[in-house]
Structure 1
Amino acid sequence: MSNYATLTREQLAALVPELLLVGQMIDRSGMAWCISEFGREEMLQIAIEEWAAASPIYTRRMQAALAYEPAEPGKGDIVTIFKGLQLDIGAPPQFLDFRFTVDDPWHGGFSLPFCGALADVEGMGDAYVKGMCHTIEDPTFDATAVATNPKAQVRPVHRPPRVPAGRVPVCSWTVIIDESYPDAVGIPALAVNERSRAATLELEPIDATDEGVSDYRGPLLADLDFAAFSHSALVRIADEVCLQMALLDRAFVLALKARADTEQLLRLRRKQLTGFAGIAAMRVARALDLPATPEGALELLRLHPMLNPAAYVRTRGEAGTLAVSPGPAHEDAAWVSLIGPDWAVPLAAAVRELDPHFDVTVTGADDEWVARVVVRDEETKETDEVAVTKISLGAGFAFEKRRSLPLLVNG
């Protein structure tokens, strides 16, 4: 059973957009260290490979989970592409505020009146803005679209650097599907990632009899109202979003392996995970209003995306502890494989978001261990990795309530 199944429907509706947002923060926790290790230009290439080797896989998974996949594989339309973006850690709702238009099944576009990712880099200068909005976006938008239709092209109307300064919307893009276009082709790392346990993992199907919406058939909505989904659907979405993060991390590792030696790879992975563990814990704990107690800290670890979904990372609660045993995530050398008796920093970084006096001890073997939350007399200083990640606007971003209206096809 999913770890998220114990939450109420209301809690899940609050948690799902949080998971989408913290998935975006994986880049914030990893790329800063890649710049210092390899330089800005190489960091951009790592980011391209990371997203291009993950997003086509998890886009298809979400299509199948919520029953809006194309009737014929590879023949999806504009609406299918846009629905996927609404459920993608690369485009968390409101933080990357996509506004869609659909002219017909093969022509459409989107603009962003606000982009949190741009807000994170705009103050760093045009070189960083162009790196994100040009160098990274051009190949990765097409890589995401290829999951739905290889004949799709995503092209800019305008994009940052903003001219004039402060221009709104910050960017505007067309999306066209045309049989005359050459097929978009996945990068080699995509085929490697497609063979992972995360890519092929089977999760519990959504119970269509559960109260609420069980799929995303029908019209494209301007904004998804997660509260409209059933409890069963929200559990599946939460688990799928955690798999998106696992697939993105696997793609990150594949990109690093082409550039890093063994020591560098381990060091960079640990830095990325530590920063992510802290910011994800902060937002999950706030969304669910978890108590600042050892019991609340264990609940936070049980629900943390680095240790989910339950079908991927095998965990169980036992007498005030959280136990981990070998499972598919260990086979993938996923985040949990980095944690053990010799290194439990991410677990500690997570629980300290509830109380800086909290710490975690881990006993057992590398792939089978038991974690306990302990209370220290002295507060522990926040790690550099968490502090760097929290520089992002995503650390304090607040979601607003929006009406979920269907988008009509123009004309």
Structure 2
Amino acid sequence: MPSRYHHLSRAQLAVLVPELLLIGHLIDRAGMPFCLEAWGEDQMTQVAIEEWAGASPIYTRRMQRALAFEGDDVPTIFKGMQLDIGAPPQFMDFRYSVTDRWHGGFHLDHCGALLDVEPMGPGMVKNMCHDIEDPTFDATAVATNPRARMRPIHRPPRTPSDRQPHCAWTVDIEPDSPEVQPIPALAVNERSHAATLVLDGIDPAQDGLADYSGALVSDFDFGAFSHSALVRMADEVVLQNHLLNLSFHLAVRQRAADDDATFHRVVSRQLIGHAGVAAERLHKAMGLGDTPQDAAYLIELHPLMNPQPYTEFSRDGETVTVSRSLAHEDAGWLSLCTPDTPDALRSIVRAVNPYLDVEIAGTDTDWTARVVLTDTAARESGEVAVTKFSKGAAFQFEPRKSLPLFVK
């Protein structure tokens, strides 16, 4: 079954994929404020650790298989990081170096995540750059080689306050290092439909690169890849979005326990904030207009409704239809969108035009939504406003030259 991104041109896809990577990164920014509100700083930190560690090994292996760069060495780890929503290009500006297959390092010339939390003080910086990074970097390595270790040379809080680069790390794989053990939530997430979904293969006959089996490059050149490869990347990246969100749900449920009201409040507000900010970025990147039809098309492009085999979705003009799907069975984002809970869809269409709204009819899993023009402009939701605290909401990509990285 063709991807919903198949109709886009190769040039459009080269713009879309990095956008989807950055959009995925903002899932965390959309959810953490509500975890902080519900359970405090220490538990918010633990949610962030479990969120990333319960998802990144799954989607890293998926991307390795899709683009044929499976391996067990340092360059393989770095290739995976370049296509990881945890390290979106330029916003998290990783600069890699390789000494040999088993040793290398990286530094960040620009860490958007750091710039987001520095205004909150050194305590929040330590939470992110020490408490969260140590276990989640190890979890990233689990996907490639459980004996890999990422260790800091220096990291924030910055001394002096304008220190550059923002941080620097070594990456070493030693045969006598004990293997990193995955967290229990990873095994749960591995059983999800999102983890096991089969997507169409890449057509090797098209113009452009069909895989990333060649040399590691300094900046990933999306435009160098074929239309088919970019479609597969886009679908894999939106699956990363879903897997990270499912992992977030597991961590939130662990703390909410039987308090369904708190669970639904936290995960729903995360979705509303993320949906709106993601829609704003996609609307601008794809150069869409402000009509109801444009808004319905934006819903079709949104990670919420992709990839094609995971969600049952169709569009006719300004009307979209959703049917029960694998995404509902996973009880992720799509299960939070019903005729009684339309705020995430409203968040998307109002990113196109504040005068737009949605009229939804049907059941919790089978419904039709029509985008309509109203006489009154809606105010931006609090959830979207909170997510926009991240500089990633307005970040602009710049042209980069992609150069191969060789062993020193």
TM-score, with normalisation over the residues of structure 1? 0.98
1:168 aligns with 2:164: yes
CA distance in 1, matches of 2:106, 2:163: 16
Partner of residue 9, structure 1 = 10
- Structure 2 matches for 1:200-219, cutoff 5 A? 200-219=196-215
CA distance in 2, matches of 1:287, 1:269: 27
Q: Which amino acid is 1:169 matched to?
A: P
Q: Which amino acid is 1:238 matched to?
A: A
Partner of residue 406, structure 1 = 404
Displacement of 1:318: 3.0
The CA deviation string for residues 365-394 of structure 1, in whole angstroms up to 9 with x for no partner, is 110111110011000001000001011101
Unpaired segments of 5 or more residues in structure 1? Answer: 71-75
1:69 aligns with 2:67: no
CA distance in 2, matches of 1:148, 1:296: 41
Q: Which amino acid is 2:20 matched to?
A: L
- Structure 2 matches for 1:108-257, cutoff 5 A? 108-257=104-253
Q: Which amino acid is 1:205 matched to?
A: G
Unpaired segments of 5 or more residues in structure 2? Answer: none
CA distance in 1, matches of 2:135, 2:261: 30
CA distance in 1, matches of 2:203, 2:332: 29
1:367 aligns with 2:365: yes
Equivalent pair of 2:296/2:317 in contact (CA under 8 Å): no
Partner of residue 32, structure 1 = 33
CA distance in 2, matches of 1:370, 1:318: 11
Q: Which amino acid is 2:292 matched to?
A: P
- 1:385 pairs, out of 372, 383, 407, with 383
Q: Which amino acid is 1:312 matched to?
A: Y
Secondary structure, in 3 states, of the residue corresponding to 2:255?
A: coil
CA distance in 2, matches of 1:319, 1:25: 29
Partner of residue 318, structure 1 = 316
- 2:294 pairs, out of 268, 293, 296, with 296
Distance 1:373 1:133, change over 3 A: same
Displacement of 1:395: 1.1
The CA deviation string for residues 168-203 of structure 1, in whole angstroms up to 9 with x for no partner, is 001000000011100001000000000000000000
CA distance in 1, matches of 2:67, 2:5: 17
Partner of residue 87, structure 2 = 91
Secondary structure, in 3 states, of the residue corresponding to 1:174?
A: strand
Secondary structure, in 3 states, of the residue corresponding to 1:18?
A: helix
Secondary structure, in 3 states, of the residue corresponding to 1:359?
A: strand
CA distance in 2, matches of 1:216, 1:177: 22
CA distance in 1, matches of 2:285, 2:41: 34
Q: Which amino acid is 2:203 matched to?
A: D
Q: Which amino acid is 1:168 matched to?
A: Q
CA distance in 2, matches of 1:129, 1:242: 28
CA distance in 1, matches of 2:14, 2:156: 33
CA distance in 1, matches of 2:309, 2:274: 21
1:329 aligns with 2:330: no
CA distance in 1, matches of 2:309, 2:235: 9
Q: Which amino acid is 1:67 matched to?
A: A
CA distance in 2, matches of 1:395, 1:144: 24
The CA deviation string for residues 54-85 of structure 1, in whole angstroms up to 9 with x for no partner, is 00000000000000012xxxxx1000000000
Partner of residue 394, structure 2 = 396
Displacement of 1:320: 3.4
Runs of 4+ in 1 over 6 A off after TM superposition: none
- Structure 2 matches for 1:43-62, cutoff 5 A? 43-62=44-63
The CA deviation string for residues 68-121 of structure 1, in whole angstroms up to 9 with x for no partner, is 012xxxxx1000000000000000000000000000000000000110000000
Percent sequence identity is 57
CA distance in 2, matches of 1:210, 1:290: 28
Q: Which amino acid is 2:28 matched to?
A: D
- 1:357 pairs, out of 346, 355, 358, with 355
Equivalent pair of 2:293/2:317 in contact (CA under 8 Å): no
CA distance in 1, matches of 2:158, 2:327: 42
Displacement of 1:319: 5.1
The CA deviation string for residues 175-233 of structure 1, in whole angstroms up to 9 with x for no partner, is 00011100001000000000000000000001111111110011100001111111111
- 2:268 pairs, out of 262, 267, 270, with 270
CA distance in 2, matches of 1:123, 1:346: 29
CA distance in 2, matches of 1:365, 1:211: 44
Secondary structure, in 3 states, of the residue corresponding to 1:97?
A: strand
Secondary structure, in 3 states, of the residue corresponding to 2:288?
A: coil
Q: May I ask how many residue pairs the two structures share in their alignment? A: 405
Q: Which amino acid is 2:350 matched to?
A: R
Displacement of 1:6: 1.0
